[in-house]
Structure 1
Amino acid sequence: MSFQHINAIIRMRWQMARNQFFKSGKANQIISAILLVIAVLTSVGSLVFAIGWGNFFLARVKPSYIIYVWDVLVAIFLFGWSITLMIEIQRTEMLSLKNLLHLPISLRGAFFLNYTSSLVNFVLMLFLPVAIGLCIASAACYGTASMVTFALLASFVLMVSAVTYQLRGWLARLMENKRTRGTVISMTVLVFVLLFQIPNIINLSSIGRRGDDTQALREVRNQLRTELSRQLKESEIDVAEYKRRSEKVLSDYEQKRQMLRDAKAASFQRTVSLANACLPIGWLPYGASAAARGSILTPWMCVFGMTSIGMVSLTLAHRSTIRTYTGNDNKEYRPRTKGNSKTSNHSKMLERTLPLLSDQQSAIALATFRCTLRAPEAKMALLTPVIFAGIFGSMMLTGNMSKLPAIARPWLGIGVLGMSVFGMSQLMLNVFGLDRQGFRAYVLMPVARRDILLGKNIATLPIAATLSGLLIGFAAFMLGMNIMHVVASFIQIMIVFFLYFPISNYTSIVAPIGMGIGTMKPVSMNFRIIVTQMLAMLLSPITLLPAVIALACEQIASFLFETSWVPIYLLITLIELPVAIWFYRKMLRIQGTLLQDREQKILDVISKVCD
């Protein structure tokens, strides 16, 4: 690839960006120009500020403390970089690798240009001036030994960009399939959400330990002061002796408290250093701290490690690109009898009849269940309860659940159930959203419309009950709940969802939402639909009333008549279950008639999907 090729490609990309800018309209042009000027001024100002602030700050702290400055800067950069990655995997590039392959350049040259173009982004433009300014300040404060921070910064950018480029290429190949695209996006969101919860988990787990150590010192101090007060009151010591001993107790307390702080600071610094030494993303702060302390070998080992990771990632990405575009990834067709047997097993599954259901109801339920499990949109909708479980589960793991009063523990089980219902509402309030053009089959089916609603609800029930059951089981294990309360909470799952199904069915009939293929993006919505969906979502706590009434009756009876040995919560729950089923069946008949009246309008709405 010659210089003329590079020049032509740069000019072509500049012309594409220029055309895109002028076609965006006057308002967008003004806003883009203002943002560009702000970005340039911010970058220059960040460089000057980092140099000045770095010289002022680093001159007043120990050299080992520079690791915290770099850790904060790297964490902010990785946060913005990951958000940029999530945005980029959902859109196409302006000058992609496929477009470059039409030009008279080699595949290796096209790969190099595509990689270097990925380095031009807003996050890196904001990060590099601050990082370079901090490198200059480190060299000014700690001498020429800290000049290695420039090499550390360059190798860090190479490592992060190369690994990201390899990951993005792998995700792009997976997302060529529309069905896989939604799954990749949903799993990427889930992974990033769970990763960002790690600092919260660490912080919650350390709060209890910090509080226990300080509380122990405080209790010892209070006991000594109480003993001195007793001795003064019984005339064992005089006032002067009391003051002297009180001052000594206070002085010892402050001294031990300071020693505790120093020990915690030293322990925290060892933990941070160990974490940075073990994780590649921490080698930049670790190497910069080692260079500030005068070490020579450690920073260059970090440079070598990050450079090696970056070069290996680029090599693997290049080999994967070569295999993809030369056709070496395509495997020869081999007839597989196992695949045919699996297909046969899947078809047999759809032909089964569920207990207590007719053939039509079973067919609708099984087809909807399999469609829900396979649809990427459903997986994205199910992320909400999973994320809730991860966040609140981490709080239970790290919190001190033993201090929770016994009377409050069963209420936490009801709260977990309510959280599960709220998380499932996005999927339940639009039961026809995944059908799209397939809803015509329901319109043409010679079955009662209440059977369609029943089949849809039965298909959703196993997923909702499984998620709720796992959450309740986890809460019961962590809290040590009474076995009778646990059994009653599991039965309340059925009651809650049988009460929420009429709400979700009515909302799905009167306010249906068409969803784009592969995403949860609504295609056709108006103000009335938004209000109806929001009200239905806010009605989810009403379904918890039977559980609240049953548990409140048990605790009131136990308080007034000392009947703690009687499982009133479980007994009332067993009475409420058939009542909830009767209510659901009554509402199902009414809503079946409503569905028959509005099925054409529903078809018009949900069949308007984006390709």
Structure 2
Amino acid sequence: MATGIERSQFAAILWLGRTLSRRRWERQSPLLAGFMVLLTVVGVTSIFSALFLGYYVGIVYLPDLSPLWVLLIWDCIVVAFLVWWLAGVLLHLQLGGERFSLTRLMHMPVSPQGAFLLNFLSSQMRVSLGFFLALMLGLSVAHSVVHGVGDGAVLGLLVIASMAMIAALTYQFQSWLGRLMSNKRRRGTVVAVAVIVTVLIANLPALYNRTLDFDTPSTVDSDTPGEAVEAEGSPLAGNLAVTVIAVNVALPPGWLPVGAWTVNRGQYWPAALCFVGMLAIAALSLRRSYRRTLRFLTVGDDGRRRETHREVPVPEERQTLRAVRRSAAPATGRWQGIVDRLLNRLPEHARAVAWSSILLWRRAPQGKMVMLSPILLILLYVVLFSEFGSSDLAAHGSALAFLALVLMMCLTLLTNQFGQDGGGFRTLVLVGAAPREILLGKNLSLAPFAITIGLAALIVLQVMNPVSASHFAAHTVHLVSLYLVGCLVGNAFSIRTPRAMSPSSMSVPNSTAKMFLATFLAMVLFLVMTLPLILALLVERGAEAVGWPIPVFLIFAALELAIVSFVYRKLLRAQARLLAERVEFVLDQVTEPVE
């Protein structure tokens, strides 16, 4: 065969991959294996349903739609497909484990061309591709019924070319990310940034809608959707049409909607150019990916021949001087010195645990996600939901909700404080650190992240929807109270349900339904804590109405902090005793090997 692989070998390798995948799910849990079978059945059913849905929608609505509305419908389908497709790519990168990896295929009697083909095809086996391909082909068949077989055939070719282009570009993108993520420490950063970028891309339509002026003239009102968009005397409709067409022409994923738009107008040369352009991009992308694959298989991961260098011996005095400089370097940093001064009042072991945990969470992908996610939420609030907090009550509600969200995200780390330690937890036990100091240091390690991000959110909300100084102070005090409660809840989870965490991914193995349920209940606790403050705000409003300007909101927040601080100090001792009793169990759980 041209690909260097026989049909029998191809079928055998496919059977092997399917068998290994099924056994992996069965080994993890029989329930998961049954769930995957159910998902497979649902996926196949959804593909046939999408084919029928596309055909039905096209038959019913295509005759009455103008070419511009056809363009917008195809745009919506392409955007939805890209968002779903990117989510699948992100999940694949996070979970890892290629079904047909190149390194394993080369141990089989397969040529490089066959290995590349199998690896490429296996990376595209997703429900999202089948669902949207069936939906688009259904629309193409409906287009051939409504406007002629020729138009439908051209549209079907455009759909196939578009899918080939997206699949080829995705494969090249995955290969590039795979090389980046070969470094385990860099892998966490890549996954964290990929999550943020995916969420931003998913919200681009909403961000664009916020920039539009929705005060449309009444002349846009019409019976037909096409007439509504192309209504005369509507500058918004004209500007929107020009913008949409320009964006589609500029971006290759938009060439499929442009081709459908031109075919609907009876213009076939632009559609032919779109078809040739998408096929050319797919061919160039696959060619580059294949060349990189050959370089990977014959040379190495980075595509460069590695040269061996003999190490030059370094004098002992110079080695000692370098070691002293490295040990003194962290203390000379600006923010490190600030943290050291803040931690000087703590016991020695608590200070060491806090400092080492801060450095650990800075490098871990879970810590990066906790730091980046609230920032993303703040940006989305500023762009999307700022007008909903224009009233005073809504401004307070937004602030309290944001504080709860920040602590909910930190709760994912607080509930498993020893998971990232791994073998390092054994060191804490062997040095004789008191359990109370270990818990105190762990609790303080996340305070710089949670408190700083919470204050940043409050400042942004204060700029967008200002409140009084006493109310801003009350929100700040409430943030500290929420964090202390989160520490108590996190300590209980970390001692009773510890589990090891991967240093290079955000997945947590051996998670049970009880863990998820308990985490959800802990999140509900944060929302319950906001109810007294809302009641205090209403009481303060009533007092101001009768002429008593008493800062009830701030007083309630201060009382809440005093009560929570007292409870924290008492329960911390009890939790320290519990940790001393279960230290061997915690050590066994967090030192389990994970990938």
| TM-score between the two structures when normalised by the length of structure 1 | 0.76
Aligned-partner residue type, residue 446 of structure 1: G
Indicate the residue corresponding to 1:435 in structure 2.
421
Task: Name the residue aligned to 2:577.
Answer: 593
Number of the residue aligned with 1:238? none
> What does 1:109-258 correspond to in 2, within 5 Å?
110-139=115-144, 141-142=146-147, 144=150, 147-202=153-208, 209-210=213-214
Change (3 A) 1:500 1:571: same
Letter in 2 for 1:376: P
Query: Is 2:344 the counterpart of 1:355?
Result: yes
Moved more, 28-37 or 554-563: 28-37
Distance 1:130 1:147 in 2: 15
Matched AA of 1:5: I
Q: What is the identity, as a one-letter code, of the residue corresponding to 1:169?
A: S
1:539 is paired with a residue whose SS is helix
Name the CA shift for 1:587/1:542 in 2 (closer, same or farther; >3 Å).
Answer: farther
Give me the whole-angstrom Cα distance separating, in 2, the residues matched to 1:441 and 1:484: 46
Shift in Å at residue 20 of structure 1?
5.3
Q: Deviations over 1:484-519 (max 9, x none)?
A: 433443343233323443333234334434445544
1:455 Cα deviation after fit: 0.9
Answer with 427-436 or 98-107: which moved more. 98-107
SS in 2 for 1:436: coil
Which runs of structure 2 are paired with 1:459-538 in the superposition (5 Å)?
Answer: 459-516=445-502, 518-523=504-509, 532-538=518-524
10-19 vs 419-428, which deviates more? 10-19
Distance 1:546 1:117, change over 3 A: closer
Alignment check: 8 A CA contact 2:169 2:285 kept: yes
Matched, 1:374 2:363: yes
Q: Distance in 1 between matches of 2:8 and 2:229?
A: 68
Matched, 1:85 2:77: no
27-36 or 568-577: bigger deviation: 27-36
Contact 1:396/1:478 (8 A) holds in 2: no
Distance 1:49 1:479, change over 3 A: closer
- SS of structure 2 residue aligned to 1:81: helix
Q: 2:432 is matched with which residue? A: 446
Amino acid of the structure 1 residue aligned with 2:199: V
| 1:5 partner SS | coil
Correspondence list, 1:46-85, <5 A: 50=54, 54=58, 57-85=61-89
Paired residues for 1:21-32 under 5 Å:
none
1:67 positional shift: 1.5
Deviations 1:527-549 (A, max 9, x none): 76566544433322355477557
Give the superposition deviation at 1:562.
Answer: 4.8
Contact 1:55-1:141 at 8 Å conserved across structures = yes
1:272 aligns with 2:244: yes
The residue number in structure 1 matching 2:224 is none
Q: 1:253 maps to which residue?
A: none
What is the rounded CA distance, in whole Å, between the counterparts of 2:486 and 2:57 in structure 1?
58
- The correspondence of residues 546-565 of structure 1 with structure 2, limited to 5 A, is 548=534, 551=537, 554-563=540-549
> How big is the shift at 1:44?
6.6
Deviation at 1:554, TM superposition (A): 4.4
Correspondence 1:309 to 2:284: no
Cα 1:595–1:549 shift into 2, 3 Å: farther
**CA distance 1:259–1:273, change in 2 (3 Å):** closer
1:298 and 1:596, CA in 2 relative to 1: closer, same or farther beyond 3 A? same
Which ranges of structure 1 fall in alignment gaps of 5 or more residues? 218-255
The residue number in structure 2 matching 1:224 is none
What's 1:540 paired with?
A: 526
Kept after mapping to 2: 8 A contact 1:21/1:29:
no
Superposed displacement of residue 355, structure 1: 3.0
Contact map agreement 1:450 1:588 (CA 8 A) in 2: yes
Q: Which amino acid aligns with 2:487?
A: F
| Closer, same or farther: CA 38–602 of 1 in aligned 2, 3 Å | closer
Once the two structures are TM-superposed, the CA of residue 458 in structure 1 deviates from its matched residue by 1.3
* Partners of 1:512 and 1:529 within 8 A in 2: no
Q: Distance in 1 between matches of 2:388 and 2:165?
A: 40
Cα distance change of structure 1 residues 591 and 553 upon mapping to structure 2, 3 Å threshold: farther
Q: Which amino acid aligns with 2:424?
A: G
Which of these residues, 282, 285, 293, is aligned with residue 257 of structure 2?
285
Alignment partners' CA distance in 2, 1:545 and 1:501? 20
Using the TM superposition, name which of 418-427 and 310-319 deviates more.
310-319
1:376-455 alignment runs, 5 A limit: 376-380=365-369, 385-386=374-375, 388-389=377-378, 391-397=380-386, 399=387, 401=389, 404-455=390-441
In the alignment, which of 304, 309, 313 is matched to residue 329 of structure 1? 304
Q: Letter of the aligned partner of 2:201 in structure 1?
A: L
Contact 1:499 1:543 in 2 (8 A): no
2:583 maps to a residue whose letter is E
**Cα 1:511–1:575 shift into 2, 3 Å:** same
Secondary structure of the residue that 2:262 maps to in structure 1? helix
Displacement, 1:102? Answer: 3.5
Q: Which residue of 1 aligns with 2:10?
A: 10
- Residues 517 and 609 in structure 1, CA contact (< 8 A), matched pair in contact too: no
The alpha carbon displacement at 1:148 in A equals 3.7
Q: Is the 2:105–2:115 contact (alpha carbons within 8 Å) kept by the matching residues of 1? A: yes
SS at match of 1:469: helix
Structure 2 vs 1, CA of residues 441 and 292 (structure 1 numbering), >3 Å: closer, same or farther?
Answer: same
8 A Cα contact 1:512 1:602, kept in partner:
yes
Counterpart code for 1:470: A
Figure out how many residues of one structure are paired with residues of the other and give that number: 564
Q: State the AA in 1 paired with 2:190.
A: V
Structure 2 distance, partners of 1:19, 1:579, is: 58
Deviations 1:36-57 (A, max 9, x none): 8887787677657755763554
Cα distance, 1:31–1:512 mapped onto 2, change above 3 Å: closer
Task: Provide the residue aligned with 1:607 in structure 2.
Answer: 591
Offset from partner CA, 1:379-401 (integer Å, 9 cap, x none): 3455664564455444334x354
Higher mean C-alpha displacement, 583-592 vs 573-582: 573-582
Distance in 2 of aligned mates of 1:260 and 1:582: 69
In structure 2, the residue matched to 1:249 is none
Tell me the CA shift for residue 163 of structure 1.
0.8
The answer to which of 370-379 and 546-555 deviates more is 546-555
2:435–2:580 Cα contact (<8 Å) kept: yes
Matched, 1:294 2:294: no
**Pairwise CA distance, 1:369:** 0.8
User: Are residues 65 and 513 of structure 1, via their aligned partners in 2, closer, same or farther at CA, if it must alter by over 3 Å?
Assistant: same
Tell me the distance in 2 between the aligned counterparts of 1:526 and 1:136.
46
**TM-superposed deviation, 1:165:** 0.3
Query: Larger Cα Rg: Structure 1 or Structure 2?
Result: 1
Instruction: Compute the displacement of 1:154 (Å).
Output: 3.2
Summarize the Cα distance change of 1:22–1:495 in structure 2 as closer, same or farther, 3 Å threshold: closer
Per-residue deviation at 1:182?
A: 4.1
The change in CA–CA distance for 1:573 and 1:269 in structure 2 (over 3 A counts) is same
